[in-house]
């Protein structure tokens, strides 16, 4: 995630969860035709371990007065008068004025409660976490295009290890991730069959949707906020959490009559850019060879990618030029 995410957390630092600071990005096309991009000093990226970040945020919330209950499986959420009632499978139940849906891409609740996308668009992923970094240097991440149908592969360094994965972001065609990893892993210095594969799905952004209701909001992956082009999910998850907290605070204090400001804010801060990002993804991943030559290999591309990921620029700032360039070359 971009280091600029720290701006939303003034009371504590996220650095305890940071395992690598990325200042170089290596791109390749079918393991060849490399492009090396040095990221500008003011826009580095952080590689964080999710377990550590989740624990850090949980600990900070508890210090601020929150109570954490582990091992709770919710099977019912419903409105009753002026409060929400939440029931667990073991019979326990709670009630409160507000509910935040934040249980990830596999959440059934947004659709059941009429929030977010009615038909979520799912990206399919397969990843493997390995000990050692192989040929990947500290401070460097790798993106591979060409091997993956309608997507890309990645390698992110961790403390003492590496996370390698494959993602397909448009259409329903399987990316054959096992075959991709069998080619990519040796190129990175690992055995072709190394590690235990983990399949997953991501809800990617696929349109402007209502993210709030009567005393309820949906945030993060459950809200289908994942970047449809670069698959970044942490920055919109943290952004939406902060925005939801701000608008819930105003509503609970009586300073706003509803939570619609949250949906409007996320549309302005995130959705407007993602609408263009989705258009770019639909063209780029259908014509990836052209996209790599005219997009990734352009001298300005690495800087633009860094600026988009850091929030300094939005996809709308570059989209029309990029799409026009790709379509003209294709024709």
Tens of pLDDT, residues 85-122: 999 999 999 999 999 999 999 999 999 999 999 999 99
User: Residues of the chain with pLDDT > 70: what percent?
Assistant: 96
Instruction: Report pLDDT digits (tens) over 36-79.
Output: 888 777 657 899 999 999 999 999 999 999 999 999 999 999 99
| pTM, full prediction | 0.91
Most confident of 120-124, 146-150, 262-266, 285-289: 262-266
Please provide the average confidence, as pLDDT, over all residues in the chain: 91
Instruction: Report pLDDT digits (tens) over 182-192.
Output: 999 999 999 99
173 pLDDT higher than 80: no
What would the mean pLDDT of 297-301 be, rounded to a whole number?
Answer: 82
Lowest mean pLDDT among 97-111, 219-233, 283-297, 317-331: 317-331
What would the mean pLDDT of 235-260 be, rounded to a whole number?
Answer: 97
330 pLDDT higher than 70: no
What is residue 311's predicted lDDT score, i.e. its pLDDT?
72
b/e per residue, 178-209, with b = 16+ CB within 10 A? eebbeebbebbebeeebbeeeeeebbbbbeeb
Tabulate helix, strand, coil % of the chain (nearest 5): 35, 25, 35
Lowest mean pLDDT among 44-48, 91-95, 167-171, 321-325: 321-325
DSSP strand pairing (161-168 vs 121-131): antiparallel
d(CA 195, CA 190): 9
User: Residues of the chain with pLDDT > 90: what percent?
Assistant: 71
What is residue 33's predicted lDDT score, i.e. its pLDDT?
93
d(CA 318, CA 277): 10
What would the mean pLDDT of 301-312 be, rounded to a whole number?
Answer: 74
What is residue 298's predicted lDDT score, i.e. its pLDDT?
83
């Amino acid at each position: 995630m971009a280091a600029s995410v720290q701006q939303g957390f003034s009371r504590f630092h996220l650095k305890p969860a940071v395992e690598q600071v990325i200042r170089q990005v290596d791109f390749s096309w079918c393991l060849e035709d490399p492009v090396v991009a040095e990221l500008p000093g003011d826009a580095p990226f952080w590689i964080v371990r999710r377990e550590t970040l989740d624990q850090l945020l949980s600990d900070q919330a508890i210090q601020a007065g929150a109570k954490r209950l582990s091992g709770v499986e919710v099977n019912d959420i419903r409105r009753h008068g002026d409060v929400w009632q939440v029931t667990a499978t073991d019979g326990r139940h709670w009630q409160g004025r507000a509910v935040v849906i934040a249980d990830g891409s596999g959440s059934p609740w947004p659709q059941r409660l009429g929030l977010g996308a009615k038909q979520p668009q799912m990206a399919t992923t397969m990843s493997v976490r390995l000990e050692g970094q192989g040929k990947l240097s500290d401070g460097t991440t790798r993106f591979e295009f060409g091997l993956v149908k309608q997507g890309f592969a990645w390698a992110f360094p961790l403390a003492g290890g590496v996370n390698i994965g494959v993602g397909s972001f448009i259409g329903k065609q399987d990316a054959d991730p096992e075959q991709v990893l069998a080619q990519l892993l040796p190129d990175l210095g690992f055995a072709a069959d190394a590690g235990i594969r983990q399949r997953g799905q991501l809800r990617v952004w696929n349109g402007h949707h209502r993210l709030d209701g009567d005393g309820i909001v949906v945030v993060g992956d459950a809200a289908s906020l994942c970047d449809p082009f670069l698959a970044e999910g942490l920055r919109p998850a943290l952004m939406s959490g902060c925005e939801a907290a701000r608008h819930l605070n105003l509503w609970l204090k009586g300073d706003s009559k509803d939570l619609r400001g949250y949906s409007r804010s996320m549309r302005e801060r995130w959705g407007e850019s993602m609408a263009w990002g989705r258009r770019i993804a639909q063209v780029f991943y259908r014509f990836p060879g052209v996209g790599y030559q005219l997009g990734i290999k352009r001298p300005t591309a690495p800087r633009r990618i860094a600026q988009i990921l850091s929030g300094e620029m939005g996809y709308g700032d570059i989209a029309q030029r990029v799409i026009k360039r790709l379509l003209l070359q294709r024709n």
